[in-house]
Chains A and B, each alone.
Chain A
Amino acid sequence: MSMDATMSPTAAEAANATEAGARALTADGDPIKMRGDKVCVFYGDKQALFDIDLDIRERQVTALIGPSGCGKSTFLRCLNRMNDTIDICRVAGDITLDGMDIYDPSIDVVELRARVGMVFQKPNPFPKSIYENVAYGPRIHGLSRSKAELDDIVASSLQKAGLYEEVKDRLDAPGTGLSGGQQQRLCIARAIAVSPEVILMDEPCSALDPIATAKVEELIDELRENYTIVIVTHSMQQAARVSQRTAFFHLGILVEEGPTQDMFTNPRDRRTQDYITGRFG
């Protein structure tokens, strides 16, 4: 259900950008979906992030870990410009999506967020029915021409989020009536419904019990086939379970980034080792 390049100007631009610069690849040959280059973030006078250089690889799960207040959520929110809603927040440096600068004045933040979706820490379904929750995004972006098409999008999104079987008989029930884990999967379905290319997840399991967490983690693993995923997590085990790449933030600095396997078995930096072995954080 990818966007038709001829229909969406942004998609067309993106395609052009990609063609022009060929596909940007990392040193070891993975395609790069998003790239942060010397990203600094300021809240008023206080600097929260210092010169972050980070590549997000396409169709991989990148986990951002680090102690509270280290700036990992701030970085995540920069990736779809959710920080724009905070008046005192200022972002410097470049962040690109398929080679296109997302902070460029010509970029429409609404279209950017349609391509880079977000799932939040606390499940936040709208006070509407399950169906309306999922149909919300496709409706505002005009992704369907008929009711039947919209029904298809809703059903397939719920299926991809692994929620369809549980709710197919009560799509008209309020989304807020679901359990916490179901609500979070509903929010994921809602994000998937607008066919994003990247999904950002800000501690998506921190409000869930272990069983619901396991389901969401399983889902993340499946979604990797079609989407690029960036996940912020406090749980080292979760990072180890679901991600291919891990980035460790500390005090606003990106300390270390690498394959998850290596990070947990053989960290290069002393601070990373201290953190993942539980000496602080």
Chain B
Amino acid sequence: MFWTYLLILAALAVTAYFIGRSRSGKVVDGDYSKLHSRPSFHGGFLAIVTVLPALAVLVVWSIAAPRFIDSAVVSQSVSAVADLGKPELEAFLRDARAIAFGGIVGFTDDAKEQAAELFRTYSSYSTTGMNIVLALLVALGFVYGFRKIAPRMRARHVVERTTMVFLAACSAVAIVTTIGIVLSLIFESLMFFRQVPVFDFIFGTHWSPQSAFEGAGVEASDVNSEIFGAIPLLVGTMLITAIAILVAAPVGLLSAIYLSDYASQPVRAVAKPVLEILAGIPTVVYGFFAALTVAPAFRGFGEGLGMSVSSESALAAGVVMGIMIIPFVSSLSDDVINSVPQSLRDGSAGLGATKSETIRKVVLPAALPGIVSALILAISRAIGETMIVVMAAGLAANLTVNPLEAVTTVTVQIVTLLIGDQEFDSAKTLAAFALGLLLFCITLLLNIIALRVVQKYREQYD
């Protein structure tokens, strides 16, 4: 229904565009140089004034009308629905709508049949009303725009302004979504912190919300805040991230140096895409790899040396995660190193510096801010990674910095908290939001640091 209207409006817009264009030619008798705006802008102008108001009304009407109809139907059938609860009322309306417009009906009775009749009537009113309003708007807009077309009319400004507003609206979508997510995180976390004190959450050293009998109850008084200490998770996250960076930073950076300054063109043409494919491998595949190959290998190796290595270890997860983020480090660093001006390399070579001296003493210092921000991006990525840790590092929230033991991370715990049949307002479930907020704050902080670093050193060479 909605899409039919959209198609019709699009067709009208195209028609208006061509009419406007040819009209602009007629008002100056074909002498286009007399026009303030190019004919295509006049076409665009006519299309905008014809269709845009109607489009806005269509969108608003389509969103608002069902609600009005629902409430109208409810108010008309008060006797039938007076003592229904909210879910029952929704079921009632759903069935009535299904009877009216076709669909799967639970069961019918007289009241529903009546309501369905009301639905039919109201929605036909609504459709008729909307059709009239839309037709009127299109016609008025078209006439207004058509008469407005004149040699000195500033059609270009209208079109450009409309384009700008449209672009701004698109970027607003991203911003509004972000704000929405953050707000929902904050509100759910506040509900959690009403049951578990912030202090206990951030500084507690014991994490076992799964043990519901210990007190992860629904009532605030039942909640044992002792079991919601996030420290073991944070330590686990940091441990695995640190191992990952220890793997990824040297390997990624050195391969970036090779690719940007040493590799010949053919090698580079092959090696760079291959390295970037590494970034395209689904993390769950890395997870297999970590759990089935790397972790047992480490355990076997450790046993050979007489050490006890847990079969799920932070080391295995960290190493595999490091491999996963190598492409982030290498690809970004490669771009940064390449963007160091050739003139600096020439200057250094012209003084008799060797290639490696040039790279160590001129190129890398100049590229440092970019490299740092590449590393920080990689760290954010590692902190947010879940799948590898679930599969390779385990779920046990041990507070340890021994990489050979099983640990768990913030993201993994969020997953385990939300799996299973839990009421959505229990402390256990809400803890997931608090953890999400914590994670968000950490990555946000890292991103801010990265931005600062880049800004501070950005204009060093130019």
Contacts and interface: CB of A to CB of B under 8 A. Distances in A.
A191 B351 contact: yes
B190 interface: no
A110 interface: yes
A131 to B, nearest CB: 14
Interface string B449-462: 00000000000111
**Interface bin, chain B:** 20 to 34
Interface stretch (A115-123, A221-229, A239-247, A251-259): A115-123
B344 interface: yes
A141 to B, nearest CB: 6
B343 A126 contact: no
B269 to A, nearest CB: 13
B321 to A, nearest CB: 33
Contacts of B343: 120, 122, 124
A111 interface: yes
Given A87-B264, A127-B461, A176-B462, A137 B352 contact: yes
B459 to A, nearest CB: 8
B59 interface: no
B391 to A, nearest CB: 44
A120 B341 CA distance: 13
A174 interface: yes
Contacts of A128: 365
Interface residues of A, number: 29
A1 interface: no
B460 to A, nearest CB: 4
Looking at B345, B347, B462, which has the most chain A CB atoms within 10 Å of its CB? B347
B346 A85 contact: yes
Given A87-B265, A140-B357, A126 B349 contact: no
A136 interface: yes
Given A174-B460, A176-B461, A124 B353 contact: no
Interface in A79-126: 80, 82, 85, 87, 110-114, 117-120, 122, 124-126
A85 B362 CA distance: 17
B350 A80 contact: yes
A26 to B, nearest CB: 27
A190 interface: yes
A126 B352 contact: no
Interface in B353-369: 353-354, 357, 361-362, 365-366
Nearest to A84: B349
A114 B366 contact: no
Q: Considering residues B352, B357, B362, B365, which has the most beta carbons from chain A within 10 angstroms of its beta carbon?
A: B352
A69 B294 CA distance: 59
A187 interface: yes
Interface in B132-182: none
A213 B175 CA distance: 51
15 contacts: A85-B349, A112-B352, A113-B350, A113-B351, A113-B352, A119-B350, A120-B346, A120-B347, A126-B348, A128-B365, A136-B348, A137-B351, A140-B361, A174-B460, A191-B351
Q: Which 9 A-B pairs have the closest CB atoms?
A: A118-B350, A114-B352, A113-B352, A127-B460, A124-B343, A137-B351, A124-B347, A127-B461, A110-B352
Given A126-B344, A194-B351, 18 more contacts: A80-B350, A85-B345, A112-B352, A113-B351, A117-B350, A117-B351, A118-B346, A119-B350, A120-B350, A124-B341, A124-B343, A126-B348, A126-B366, A127-B344, A127-B365, A127-B461, A140-B357, A194-B352
Interface of A: 80, 82, 85, 87, 110-114, 117-120, 122, 124-128, 136-137, 140-141, 174, 176, 187, 190-191, 194
